[in-house]
Structure 1
Amino acid sequence: MKRLFNLLFAALLLAASCTSRPQAPAEWAGSTVLYEMNVRQFTPEGTFAAAERQLPRLRELGVDIVWLMPVYPIGEKGRKGSLGSYYAIRDYRAINPEFGTMADFERFLDRAHKLGMRVILDYVANHTSPDHAWVTEMPSEWYVRDSTGVPVVQYDWTDIAKLNYATPAVREAMFDVLKFWTDKGVDGFRCDAAKEMPDDFWTDAFVRLRAVRPDLFLLAEAEGPQFHADGFDATYAWELHHMLNSIAQGKQSAADLRAYLQADSERYPASAHRMMFTSNHDENSWAGTEFERMGDAAATMAALTYVLPQSLPLIYTGQEIGYDHRFAFFEKDPVPAWEPNRWTAFYTKLNALRHDNPALASGAAGGEMAYMGGAVSDLMAFTRTAGDNKVVCLFNLSARQQPVIPTVEVGGEYTDAMTGAQRTIVPGEEFALGPWEYLILVLEK
């Protein structure tokens, strides 16, 4: 009898552990919305305590994952500007005092979790600051060095020292960084300059991490199907981003976009999440705001990133209020006091659209895309369908009015996702879309 009791107890424990197993990103990430938080600029205070108070409004906006730009202390040697680059890290296991304390960070993380959001950290594995303790305390082979023994500087990143991944101890130390923050309870990592590290570093590190936390979300700041083979869930859609800029400037067309989407679908696995965006910290500070680059097409391109196949849409700090400003990268340059406006409503509606329509999911769960036949060349006209959920997407990707002649596959009774109005689409009944105008229609059930 005692042996039978022990067997039953073990079976109950096993069943409990199975039901409480964290879901892997493949099971939950398809309908998520990502928000990149520039902590320095997110609030006038630029602290975790101030940012924590704003988390409820991000949740109300519809944000699922908060990506924090690097939160670690910044090096002083070679520092750029008065505050320095977030990506020149002096200590991977501490919090930049500009943002507060470790306790402040932990309260921020706890609050985000209680609101139902995940938090991922920017993980900078390629380099440290030149005054990181490792530069002098560890063997010289921890860094890639020039002929004089000085750590190598890449590009114009004069405030960094490049780590040497041919040294096993470096790999282990950088894995320990991932483990440290995973143990703190963060939900994943955006991996900076992912192409600079060997593929097998990512593979080995992720296998070990996911043995403990299978639900970690891993985003590569890189483009290429190999990163999904390495274990990343999501990659940047850089090529698409530059194409959207180019279309908005009249240099490319919807035909180029269709060709891109076809090629992308053939290169990437069905499970891939492709982060699509009209802005991020690099683009905003160095290439300009979405309004500078895209002009009147800015809202159209943002909406498009929510409905294309495989898209994981991104909102960057300030976009939710339409802030048309290039942030100073190395200085304090905060968003004005936050007040909701039409851009807040715009992104709230897009986020709800993504959450409410499984046809728009990224990854393997997403709905099939089918083009509407007979559309003019500057029109992106397609459906996304999953089961009984159907979304019709009609985008005029030009500065000229374009005719739309609906075909039978898009006929029906719909709700306009952006206005809530009811709309009947009759096959063959022509209407027009104005310059950069779009319609996202959800089939009524």
Structure 2
Amino acid sequence: MTGRADLRLGITDVAPVVACGAFSARAVVGEHVPITATVFREGHDAVAANVVWSPPATPGRRPPKAPLQRMQRYSDQPDRWTTTVVPDREGLWTYQVEAWDDPIGTWHHAVEVKVEAGQGAADLANDLEEGARLLDAVGKTVPKEHRTAVAAAATALRDESLELTARLAPALAPAMTELLHAHPVRRLVTRSPRYEVWVDRERALYGSWYEFFPRSEGPVVDGVPTHGTFADAAERLPAIAAMEFDVVYLPPIHPIGTVNRKGKNNTLTTVEGDVGSPWAIGSADGGHDAVHPELGTMADFEAFVARTRELGMEVALDFALQAAPDHPWVTEHPEFFTTKPDGTIAYAENPPKKYQDIYPINFDNDPAGIYAEARRVLQVWIDAGVKVFRVDNPHTKAINFWHWLIWDVKKSHPDVLFLAEAFTKPAMMHQLARVGFTQSYTYFTWRTEKWEIEQYGRDLAGTAHYMRPNFFVNTPDILHASLQYGGPPMFKIRAVLASMMSPTWGVYSGYELFEHVALKPGSEEYLDTEKFQLRPRDWAAAAAEGRSLAPYLTRLNQVRREHPALQQLRTLTFHPVDNDQLLCFSKTDPGSDDAVLVVVTLSSQHTQIGTTALDMAALGLEWSDRFTVTDQITGAQYEWGQFNYVELDPYREPAHVFTVTRHAPLG
């Protein structure tokens, strides 16, 4: 038999741990990260635990001695212990759980039980001396200012001239108990393996994304759209910043293939002026390291990135490892692709869909060459100022490739983030997160019923230690039926759900104009999809005519910035409501008393009424407490308790976004 023979005490079920420690758990700077473990021992003596929480190593310096952070028992699980750590910088942190025999805890319990049983000083003679000896040991380790008090408590335990209660009083006083808790006597110390936590910057967990196509921002001349440039697109940035978005996401900005180029609405034939799909990357003008000439130059792109930063945002760029038939790779590196028996290169297929304008990469043909080229391309855009990449279809590429690529980038650029656009099976989505992806697209778009929204939210909160969601309400590829037929109220409803449930959420341009017409019944593709044509929008006219959701999106983003509770994932809690068309959930911020409570209707057609049954403990309240809720959308205030009547008309306001103000205790 094999195993560790040094495990004197029991330590099991340590968390957060990813794949038994094969990969790093995740957190962000300033996040409150719970560390838990089951700690136990034989017999009845007391056991205690602590965490050794170690910061990233600094080159050229000896690592500082990591302080011990004492763990506390769960009140309802006596063998389960927990504490919270808060990383203050990016990089690779580690932690280790230590279990130990707690003689002071054993002594306290034994003395209290014996005194309650009526035993006197003679019966407790040995206990009193054992306590004094423990205090002698503690006196050597406590700060100097406490040593006199510890020595006095030991002396009192040995003073036979005092009554028993007087002998015990100094040692059992609350201040002494607190001191002994902070400076314990640790015996039989047993240690868990050391586990890793990779800590990213805050944007890895929290942010509001806005996606748009720079090429659609050109002027309309005589009713005909013209191809936009980065300079044109930069004129759109102040409006996006005014809506309080944090990340501007751009589809691929590279040259677009001309061979097998798709026409409008994904047709196989093109006419003069068809611009093709940005995801069909590469032409005679260059490949993944080049800028589409009609958008401008690399210098123009860098100016766009700089302008975005001036407005308090940053650019996320699409990273799509695929090629158009006329991409330079096809002639320079034919080994990157799959060659069919007839000698032709295989284009992409997702039966019955065919992508004749795209060649997928075969990662098994020349992995070394593909790895090197992908890393080189990423560095080009990192050098241009990009720190966030939305990765297209990562689930169709090798997992070990992503693990290598992401962590190779982070060696020199720890602030670079990667979003996985992986609408695929759960196992693959989760494995991509485990191996290194910072965020992931999710199934949120297709979760519309109350039970499945709640279940999915709980699942995501339960895997927050490695998988961070990004709730996009729509994408250029996805126009869900709920938006096609739900009317303007449904656009508000989905925006509330995405922005309030997930720390990171996003919209694709046109959502604020209620764009909802599908290519055909049963399709989730937009009619006149922007993937294959220019689609300029008259933002000013929409705002003037009151046809824009921009003010509502702005308010949601403002509330998110104002309330740190909404920047959390781990604290997401659902509360019962006696109506399947009403959803209630809350979030709290472990670093403050901030709490946000959301009640939203899932019906875009009819008024819904119901009664909440709040989990008061999740809000940091007692079951009988009364408190004030303030609606951050309308400004209305109500006095609430555990049970509350709710009525929501989707045509007026489909949701309450409440902040919670606790009443001061009486007296």
The alignment's TM-score, normalised by the length of structure 1, stands at: 0.85
Give SS of 2:412's match.
coil
CA-atom RMSD in angstroms: 2.6
Give the direction of change, closer, same or farther, for the CA distance of 1:213–1:307 in structure 2 (3 Å limit).
same
1:96 aligns with 2:96: no
2:200 and 2:629 map into 1 onto residues whose CA distance is 31
1:193 to 393, 411, 421: 393
2:573 to 359, 370, 373: 370
Partner residue in 2 for 1:233: 438
Q: Please report how far the alpha carbon of residue 412 of structure 1 lies from its aligned counterpart in structure 2 after TM superposition.
A: 2.0
Partner residue in 2 for 1:403: 609
1:348 aligns with 2:554: yes
Q: Please report how far the alpha carbon of residue 21 of structure 1 lies from its aligned counterpart in structure 2 after TM superposition.
A: 7.3
1:392 aligns with 2:597: yes
Conserved? CA contact 2:464–2:570, under 8 Å: no
Partner residue in 1 for 2:491: 298
Partner residue in 2 for 1:130: 325
Q: Please report how far the alpha carbon of residue 96 of structure 1 lies from its aligned counterpart in structure 2 after TM superposition.
A: 0.8
1:374 and 1:57 map into 2 onto residues whose CA distance is 38
Q: Within 5 Å, which residues of 2 pair with 1:106-121?
A: 106-121=302-317
Give the direction of change, closer, same or farther, for the CA distance of 1:371–1:331 in structure 2 (3 Å limit).
closer
Write the deviation string for residues 143-179 of structure 1: whole angstroms up to 9, x where unpaired: 1111122111122110012222121212211111111
Q: Please report how far the alpha carbon of residue 257 of structure 1 lies from its aligned counterpart in structure 2 after TM superposition.
A: 2.0
Q: Within 5 Å, which residues of 2 pair with 1:8-407?
A: 25-44=200-219, 46-81=228-263, 82-90=274-282, 91-125=287-321, 127-138=322-333, 140-155=334-349, 156-166=354-364, 167=366, 168-223=368-423, 224-237=429-442, 239-244=443-448, 253-266=449-462, 268-284=463-479, 291-295=483-487, 296-308=489-501, 310-324=502-516, 326=526, 327-338=529-540, 340=543, 341=546, 342-361=548-567, 365-366=568-569, 368-373=571-576, 375-386=578-589, 387-398=592-603, 399-407=605-613
1:307 and 1:59 map into 2 onto residues whose CA distance is 19
2:335 and 2:257 map into 1 onto residues whose CA distance is 21
Give the direction of change, closer, same or farther, for the CA distance of 1:428–1:63 in structure 2 (3 Å limit).
closer
Q: RCO (CA 8 Å, sep 6+): is it higher in 1 or 2?
A: 1
Give the direction of change, closer, same or farther, for the CA distance of 1:322–1:338 in structure 2 (3 Å limit).
farther
Give the direction of change, closer, same or farther, for the CA distance of 1:335–1:89 in structure 2 (3 Å limit).
same
Give SS of 1:283's match.
coil
Write the deviation string for residues 46-96 of structure 1: whole angstroms up to 9, x where unpaired: 221011122122112111111111000001111112111100111111111
Give the direction of change, closer, same or farther, for the CA distance of 1:263–1:426 in structure 2 (3 Å limit).
closer
Conserved? CA contact 1:389–1:443, under 8 Å: yes
2:510 and 2:597 map into 1 onto residues whose CA distance is 29
2:639 to 418, 424, 428: 424
Partner residue in 2 for 1:444: 661
Q: Please report how far the alpha carbon of residue 307 of structure 1 lies from its aligned counterpart in structure 2 after TM superposition.
A: 1.5
Q: Please report how far the alpha carbon of residue 20 of structure 1 lies from its aligned counterpart in structure 2 after TM superposition.
A: 9.9
1:25 and 1:34 map into 2 onto residues whose CA distance is 18
Give the direction of change, closer, same or farther, for the CA distance of 1:170–1:412 in structure 2 (3 Å limit).
same
1:21 and 1:407 map into 2 onto residues whose CA distance is 40
Write the deviation string for residues 255-276 of structure 1: whole angstroms up to 9, x where unpaired: 232233334444x343432111
Q: Which amino acid aligns with 1:414?
A: V
2:358 and 2:401 map into 1 onto residues whose CA distance is 20
1:57 and 1:404 map into 2 onto residues whose CA distance is 38
Conserved? CA contact 2:483–2:516, under 8 Å: yes
Give SS of 2:236's match.
helix
Q: Please report how far the alpha carbon of residue 117 of structure 1 lies from its aligned counterpart in structure 2 after TM superposition.
A: 1.2
Give SS of 2:478's match.
helix
The alignment's TM-score, normalised by the length of structure 2, stands at: 0.58
Q: Which amino acid aligns with 2:342?
A: T
Q: Which amino acid aligns with 1:53?
A: E
Q: Which amino acid aligns with 1:412?
A: F
1:213 and 1:130 map into 2 onto residues whose CA distance is 32
Conserved? CA contact 2:218–2:229, under 8 Å: yes
Which stretch has the larger CA shift, 20-29 or 148-157?
Answer: 20-29
Q: Please report how far the alpha carbon of residue 329 of structure 1 lies from its aligned counterpart in structure 2 after TM superposition.
A: 2.6
Give SS of 1:35's match.
strand
Q: Please report how far the alpha carbon of residue 319 of structure 1 lies from its aligned counterpart in structure 2 after TM superposition.
A: 2.2
Q: Please report how far the alpha carbon of residue 241 of structure 1 lies from its aligned counterpart in structure 2 after TM superposition.
A: 0.7
Q: Which amino acid aligns with 2:491?
A: A
Structure 2: which 5+ residue stretches go unaligned?
1-59, 62-87, 92-197, 220-225, 264-273, 424-428, 518-525, 620-625, 663-667
Q: Which amino acid aligns with 2:362?
A: N
1:216 and 1:333 map into 2 onto residues whose CA distance is 31
Q: Please report how far the alpha carbon of residue 43 of structure 1 lies from its aligned counterpart in structure 2 after TM superposition.
A: 4.9
2:430 and 2:534 map into 1 onto residues whose CA distance is 37
Q: Which amino acid aligns with 1:146?
A: K
Which stretch has the larger CA shift, 153-162 or 339-348?
Answer: 339-348
Give the direction of change, closer, same or farther, for the CA distance of 1:191–1:200 in structure 2 (3 Å limit).
same
Write the deviation string for residues 5-29 of structure 1: whole angstroms up to 9, x where unpaired: xxxxx98xxxxxxx99799645343
Q: Which amino acid aligns with 1:356?
A: E
> Aligned residues, how many?
410
1:78 and 1:305 map into 2 onto residues whose CA distance is 37
Conserved? CA contact 2:255–2:293, under 8 Å: yes
Q: Which amino acid aligns with 2:597?
A: V
- Paired-residue identity, %: 27
Give the direction of change, closer, same or farther, for the CA distance of 1:414–1:80 in structure 2 (3 Å limit).
same
Give SS of 1:63's match.
coil
Conserved? CA contact 1:31–1:358, under 8 Å: no
1:360 and 1:212 map into 2 onto residues whose CA distance is 31
Structure 1: which 5+ residue stretches go unaligned?
1-9, 12-18, 245-252
Partner residue in 2 for 1:250: none
Higher helix share: 1
Q: Please report how far the alpha carbon of residue 321 of structure 1 lies from its aligned counterpart in structure 2 after TM superposition.
A: 4.1
